[in-house]
Structure 1
Amino acid sequence: TLSYWSDAANNPTSSVYGAPMIETNEAALWTWDARPYPDFPAREDVWSDAANWRLGHWMGGRLGQVSLGALVRDLCRAGGLPDALVDVSELSDIVPGFTVAALESPRASISVLARHFGFDAVESGGRILFRTRGRAPSATIRPDGLVGGKGEVMELVRGQETELPQALKWQVVRADEEYDAATVEARRTTVAADGVTAERFPLAASLEEADRRCRRALLEAWAGRETMTARLPPSMLRLDPGDVVSLDHDGRICEYRITRISDAGQRAIEAVRSDPDIYDMPPGNARSPRLSAPAVFGPADVALMDLPQLGDAVPAHRPYAAVFANPWYGNAAVWRSTGSSGFTLLDAIGQPARMGRLAADFPAGPTDRWDDGSRLLIDLSSGTLASVTDEELFAGANALAVESAPGVWEIVQAGAAALVASGRYQLTHLLRGQRGTEDAIGNPAPTGARVVVLDAATVPLSIAEADLGLPWNWRVGPGNAAPSDAIMQALTFTPNGRGLRPFAPAQARMRRLANGDLDLRWLRRDRALAADSWVLTDVPMSEASESYEIEILSGATVKRTLTVAAPTALYTAAMQTADFGGPVASLDVRITQIGALGRG
């Protein structure tokens, strides 16, 4: 545009105000769009005018391209040719991108461009001229105007069809689709040939233009199977390779493009048939690019949970982390520090957890047997749940952690799962307070409380036992983000070693002896996963020694604490009289087993 208006013939000086019609030195770009390329125009679902970009005046996506002439000139400079010896004025095509794909000479790179764009390099007058094809004829020749010699004055040869490709396939790089490889194809259908030629070009291009150039190259090959050799008279010394001549012969006129001239005594030329129509074909059909949606990450939903031991391979003292983000980071990092800085990377989490929220209050229910009266209604952020058999349930399937109070998690297993709405599941046929979490049963657990599906995505944190009881600061977020990044979730969490605390004893009973003493007995439970085995003759012992504390209660008041080393205790008549003024008919007690971290 600037070249056009810089020409005085197109931009005359006004006789009124003495200046050109358009001040080119004050020109500015118009329609530089803030919408990013290639999203505009690729995302037609976002911008309704995207289809206009192809033939419109937008500069976005175009200014970063280079002209074919400038690229060829630069390659000539790399080969040692000064600009004065190179003429690229005819090369007006645009190159979105080009790669020198191998250790090759500038000439080899120019040959790749010449094949794709259809131009020739010729030497004329001591300069290298780069000439486009499809030129108008520079002269007309007739057999009677050619120079005679040995043999015929002119020789026409037509090659075999079977030596030509039926189809031509080109692979290019899509400039508008994240530089992915793409293929265009040109094919002739009514020919005897059946060969296919495939070529790869290390350049970026629009598929519409690549399709047009591929069709041009195939038709050039078919037109070029007709060749001509002749000897020109001295009057045609002006002709150079790349020029087109018209041959008037046998009542018809055909065009030939000169490919070689030899001046050894006579001016002999070699030429190939040229069809001007193949250089004026429309672009190929538009192909909308398929761009991947940009990943916009937000803070994750994170649950740091002090849970009982969930697997034999996991040390009992370790807490668990569940992380969910959509889209998923690919890898989530867990950092920790005792202060507000100096965070250390602790663990990496490779898959998102299935997390959700209670869609309704979750009431208390029975333990140690089926809870078929309660329902657990949850909204799951991702993933699915399915019903399982009782055998699968006993093997650990469909385990969930329900946060009945902040930091307090009940483990529930569900045998039946029904999808009642999008992402909403109703879970029934429940086992409550699993793995010794009956003390965490809410009454009720409120609507909106967090729920985590306990599977391989719930990861144990690799802390040491010495870290228990310390109020750590945590940062959780994308694996490639720094702990100080705004996207990181900041949490404070103190692991207390729930997995090391003994389970509550079971089946407590009381019997009055003849002397008025009360004999208290119970069954010991153990936190070891093997304790649920039905084939063992005795319950395993995970603690260093067996010890219990029994609190004698009067309402909320503790009247007396007994300490014993076996699952039995004697509350004597004298103790009853001292605590209650006489024998008692019923008794409220709290029995806890003592472990390395204190009461269970």
Structure 2
Amino acid sequence: MATLVLTTIGGLFGPVGAAIGAIAGQAIDRDVLFKPPGRQGPRLTELAVQVSSYGTPIQKVFGTMRVAGCVIWSTDLIESRDTQSTGKGQPTLTSYSYAASFAVALSGRPVSGVGRIWADGKLLRGAAGDFKVSCVFRLHQGGEDQAADPLIASAEGAGLAPAHRGLAYAVFETLQLADYGNRIPSLTFEVIGDAGPVAAGAIADELSGGAIDGADAALPLPGFAAYGDSVRAVAETLGQAAGAWFVPVGGGLAMRATAAAEREIADDGVAEGADHGARGRRSAAAIETVPHALSLSYYDPARDYQTGVQRARRPGAGTRETRIEMPAVLGADAAKAMAEGALARAEAARERRTVTLGWDALGVSPGACVTIAGVRGTWRVSGWSLEKMVLSLECVRLPVSSPALPASPGRVVSAPDRLAGATILHAFEIPPLGDETLAAPRLTVAAAGTAPGWRRAALLYSVDDGERWVAAGATAAPAVIGTIVSLPIATGAALIDRRSVVEVELAHAGMALSGADGRALDMGANVALLGEELIQFGAATQVAARRWRLSTLWRGRRGTEGAIGTQAVGDRFVLLSADASVAIDLPLSALGRAVRVIASGIGDTGGPVSVTAGMTGLSVLPPAPVGLRAVELGGGDVFLRWTRRSRAGWRWIDGVDAPLAEEREAYRLTIESGGVARIVETSAPEWTVTAAERGTGLRVTVRQTGAAGESPAAEINIGHWEG
């Protein structure tokens, strides 16, 4: 007697591996194709968690798949220290940052590339290949001739670093860890194993070393990760995906997925009698044995490879539900069709028939698809036995194909993928925007990128024309930065400028401005640097994607009225805020010098960005006196009076004199007449010029003396005395 039983791989009714048969099947399972049964095949959750355990199986990636990988090498954390002064008389502040270098195994077969990379669920590398965090990245594609990674070789020693040939892996060098709690984050990779979808049968063929002929199982899988220590388990999963079954062919197996009938058979009745019963025996399981609903989970590329679920239901009695976990990349429509197909196969398989034929029908092989005379539908030969020259065929009904139904992947929750772009850097000296007074000159740095994904850049500065460079940490949050498109009129700083309209073009469309009422402006809202002039604006109207029109202007703020009217088209516009700028306190010796600043961000592929700022003392010097006026005293004498201003108390909320904010009140006057100048000093905001000093005409400049130097000048011209 000879017996051979075959079932659909990955069917819904019990284990499949043992059903490969009593003769050829067992021999193939033991000696040709499969190792002894081990763990089951891949599950969806196993591909989502990064591990670092020794002996962990590495998946083989086909098509494009998101996988976690396994950390196979790493260094200790690399610590960097930055010490900065917080001001005169204040303690220094030391901050620490950490980085790590490590390697992650991705695929046990060669790959063609890596697309996006996620770290703790957020994009570390975007679709354009741009990294969101500073690092050096190398991919070893898994070729049999690949060399050891140079970083690993330098750390482990020449000849001690494996090349990992046949294993695709990625190396991160000095990945900055500040965004990940100073630890190596959980990484997942969009691994491109093959250029396009791969047929389920082709995957089985490669994994089995050619022992499985999968030419008939042509279902394309956009991505699949063969994972586990048993080829059998993976073959079951592939058969389940393709709705295929195994057929013995020579010394191996072939996957069959085509349900077209190869021939028609008829029960010859040769077995009718005492031992074999009636002709054409039929059995049908109760409908309740078939799940009423089936859900299939899968990796959905439309959802960044997050798990998607599609459901199929059948009409009729029953309440049982079942679930298939398919660790493959599928579109929603394909997953819906797969779920519908699995449920249809389960329902059709309720009906079975036993057909008896003469020995001359031996050509009907196990796994063949046939029609039975007088019986509707197509049947698959699932059991084959020959005894006493009587051939008995066990047949299982195959489902009728149905049209594919559209499906929705559900709500897409994708990690934002924004390009960083190149760094835009501005460095300038301005008065403090609060009420504090500085003892040392301060350089303010604001930066952003040409695209919304820019986050920060490393900073260096030099006060000696590049002879020495000082690390200044990193830039602050991205500032709102742009350029001037149309100019305001030149006007005074004493009144609100309601006539001027200035247009600015921001660096990218992700930036925005907003208006502010008078109270908010009085509290310091909407302070911006327009060229060299500090302004505030009450109204901001968007006129294009990047262009904004500003009006209701407060001009020449914080003593910058001298810059009114000096702007040109293309000059900078910077919206100032404490969280979007970095303050660098410099030594007093920096006054009068040019400070060079260099910034380097992850999007600066052309090299670091450099700017130069002149330190004129605007941050530490008192503002110029105002209200300089001359009163004739008679006889040619002139009384000069002016009003001092202070580096503190700009809001003047109490109606009395602003605080001095200097060590003493002192002024220096330059009195020039007839080409001769003399200098006098006074501690009061007044001075008398005699008729003799006045001569034929007089020019007087007044500067307030501060702790760090003199203010800009207030100036007055007095004519010839006619008396």
* TM-score higher than 0.5: yes
AA paired with 2:562?
D
Match among 379, 390, 414 for residue 537 of structure 2: 414
Question: 1:456 Cα shift?
Answer: 5.2
SS in 1 for 2:341: helix
- Contact kept in structure 1, 2:448 and 2:454, CA below 8 Å: no
Partner residue in 2 for 1:44: none
Tell me how far 1:399 sits from its aligned partner.
Answer: 2.0
CA contact (8 A) 2:460 2:470 kept: yes
Q: Which residue of 1 aligns with 2:558?
A: 435
Query: What residue is the counterpart of 1:498 in the other structure?
Result: 618
- 1:435, CA displacement in angstroms? 1.0
**Alpha-carbon separation, structure 1, partners of 2:330 and 2:268:** 43
Please name the residue that 1:8 is paired with. Answer: none
**2: distance between equivalents of 1:132 and 1:471?**
76
Deviations 1:472-505 (A, max 9, x none): 433345x2256xx416433233444421121222
2:587 partner letter: E
* Letter paired with 1:452: V
Answering whether residue 601 of structure 2 is matched by residue 475 of structure 1, we say no
1:459 aligned partner = 581
- Equivalent position SS for 1:498: coil
In structure 2, C-alpha distance between the alignment counterparts of 1:116 and 1:558, rounded to whole Å = 100
CA distance in structure 1 between the partners assigned to 2:259 and 2:544 by the alignment: 66
C-alpha distance 340-144 of structure 1, shift in aligned 2 (>3 A): farther
Structure 1 residues 165-174 or 363-372, which shifts more?
A: 165-174
Does the 8 Å CA contact 1:365/1:371 hold for their aligned counterparts? yes
Distance 2:366 2:686 in 1: 114
Residues 626, 643 of structure 2: 8 Å contact kept: yes
Deviation at 1:90, TM superposition (A): 3.6
Q: Is the 8 A contact 1:138 1:245 kept in 2?
A: yes
Mapped partners of 1:416, 1:165: distance in 2:
63
1:526-567 C-alpha deviation (Å, 9 max, x unpaired): 212x45242486533433343321222459x67222223x23
| Structure 2 equivalent of residue 47 of structure 1 | none
Query: CA shift at 1:149, angstroms?
Result: 3.4
Deviation, structure 1 residue 513: 6.4
1:246–1:254 Cα contact (<8 Å) kept = yes
Is 2:228 the counterpart of 1:110?
A: no
CA gap of 1:593–1:110, structure 2 versus 1, over 3 A, is same
In the alignment, structure 1 residue 333 sits paired with structure 2 residue 457: yes
Give the whole-Å Cα distance in 1 for the aligned partners of 2:391 and 2:587.
96
CA distance in 2, matches of 1:97, 1:118: 17
Match of 1:136 in 2: 261
Partner residue in 1 for 2:10? none
- Aligned with residue 75 of structure 1, among 180, 198, 207: 207
3-state SS of paired residue (2:493): coil
Query: TM-score scaled by structure 1?
Result: 0.69
Counting only pairs closer than 5 Å after superposition, residues 138-153 of structure 1 correspond to structure 2 as: 140-142=265-267, 144-146=269-271, 149=275
Report matched runs for 1:509-524 at 5 Å. 509-510=629-630, 518-524=638-644
Instruction: Pick one of 621, 641, 653 that aligns with 1:534.
Output: 653
| Residue in structure 2 matched with residue 590 of structure 1 by the alignment | 702
What's the offset of the Cα at 1:115?
0.5
Alpha-carbon distance change, 268 to 314 in structure 1, aligned in 2, over 3 angstroms = farther
Distance 1:420 1:114, change over 3 A: closer
SS at match of 1:391: helix
The superposition leaves residues 403-439 of structure 1 with CA deviations (integer Å, 9 ceiling, x where unpaired) of 1xxxxx1111223445567755544433221111122
Report the alpha carbon displacement of residue 116 of structure 1 after superposing the two structures with TM.
0.6
AA partner of residue 473 (structure 1): R
Corresponding residue for residue 322 of structure 1: 446
Amino acid of the structure 2 residue aligned with 1:526 = S
Change in 2 beyond 3 A, CA 1:460/1:216: same
Q: In 1, Cα distance between the equivalents of 2:266 and 2:589?
A: 97
Write the distance in 1 (CA, Å) between the matches of 2:454 and 2:387. 70
1:392 is displaced (CA, Å) by 1.2
CA distance in 1, matches of 2:610, 2:430: 21
Tell which structure's C-alpha radius of gyration is larger: 1
Distance 1:373 1:424 in 2: 19
Aligned residue type for 2:243 = G
SS of the residue corresponding to residue 668 of structure 2 reads strand
Q: Distance in 2 between the 1:301 and 1:283 partners?
A: 52
1:376 equivalent in alignment to 2:502: yes
The CA deviation at 1:100 is: 2.8
Q: How far apart, CA to CA, are the structure 1 residues paired with 2:482 and 2:639? A: 47
Name the CA shift for 1:352/1:230 in 2 (closer, same or farther; >3 Å): farther
Once the two structures are TM-superposed, the CA of residue 343 in structure 1 deviates from its matched residue by 8.3
- Three-state SS of the structure 1 residue aligned to 2:677 is strand
3-state SS of 1:534 partner: coil
Task: Tell whether the 8 Å contact from 2:429 to 2:617 is kept in structure 1 after alignment.
Answer: yes
Which residue does 2:368 correspond to in 1?
Answer: 243
Of the three residues 466, 480, 491, the one matched with 1:353 is 480
Residue number in structure 1 paired with 2:685: 568
Could you tell which deviates more after superposition, 217-226 or 382-391? 382-391
Contact 2:483 2:569 in 1 (8 A): no
Q: Distance in 1 between matches of 2:220 and 2:437?
A: 62
Change beyond 3 A, Cα 1:543–1:271: farther
Shift in CA distance, 412/267, structure 1 to aligned 2, threshold 3 Å: same
Shift of 1:455: 3.4
1:280-319 equivalent positions in 2, closer than 5 A: 299-311=422-434, 317-319=441-443
For 1:480 and 1:377, locate their aligned partners in 2 and report how far apart those are by CA, in whole Å: 30
Q: Taking structure 1 as reference, are residues 184 and 461 closer, same or farther at Cα in structure 2, changes over 3 Å only? A: same
Query: What is the aligned partner in structure 2 of residue 389 from structure 1?
Result: 517
Task: Determine the structure 1 residue equivalent to 2:662.
Answer: 543
**RMSD of aligned alpha carbons:** 4.6
Give how far 1:211 is off.
5.1
Of residues 325, 329, 352, the one that matches 1:204 is 329
| Counterparts of residues 26-45 of structure 1 (less than 5 Å) | none
Length, aligned pairs only: 511
CA distance, structure 2, for counterparts of residue 231 and residue 76 of structure 1:
35
Question: C-alpha displacement at 1:340, in angstroms?
Answer: 8.9
One-letter identity of the residue aligned with 1:160 = I
**Is the 2:299–2:306 contact (alpha carbons within 8 Å) kept by the matching residues of 1?**
yes
For structure 1, list consecutive stretches of 5 or more residues without a partner in the other structure: 1-35, 39-60, 78-82, 404-408
For the residues of structure 2 that align with 1:93 and 1:572, how far apart are their CA atoms?
101
Q: Which has the higher contact order (CA 8 A, sep 6+)?
A: 2
Change (3 A) 1:420 1:119: closer
Amino acid at match of 2:612: T
User: Contact 1:473–1:490 at 8 Å: present in 2 too?
Assistant: yes
Tell me, in whole angstroms, the C-alpha distance in 2 between the residues paired with 1:93 and 1:374: 68
- Supply the distance in 1 between the matched residues of 2:265 and 2:470 (Cα, whole angstroms): 83
CA 1:440–1:74: 2 relative to 1, 3 Å: same
**Could you tell me how far apart the structure 2 residues matched to 1:114 and 1:570 are?**
101
Query: In 1, distance between residues paired with 2:672 and 2:513?
Result: 43
Structure 2: distance between partners of 1:294 and 1:314 = 42
2:492 to 349, 366, 372: 366
Q: Distance in 2 between matches of 1:413 and 1:200?
A: 60
| CA distance 1:199–1:473, shift in 2 (3 Å) | farther
Aligned mates of 1:178, 1:160 — CA distance in 2: 36
| Structure 2: gaps of 5 or more residues | 1-112, 116-192, 713-723
1:98 aligns with 2:245: no
Other structure's SS at 2:619 match: helix
Return the alpha-carbon distance in structure 2 between the equivalents of residues 487 and 115 of structure 1: 52
Q: Distance in 1 between matches of 2:357 and 2:622?
A: 108
Contact 2:384/2:392, CA 8 A, preserved across alignment: yes
Q: 1:259 to 1:112 in 2, by over 3 A?
A: same
Give the aligned partner of residue 45 of structure 2.
none
Do the aligned partners of 1:522 and 1:567 also contact (CA within 8 Å) in 2?
A: no
Deviation at 1:450, TM superposition (A): 3.0
Seen in structure 2, the aligned counterparts of structure 1 residues 455 and 145 have a Cα distance that, compared at 3 Å, is: farther
2: CA distance, partners of 1:180 / 1:146: 55
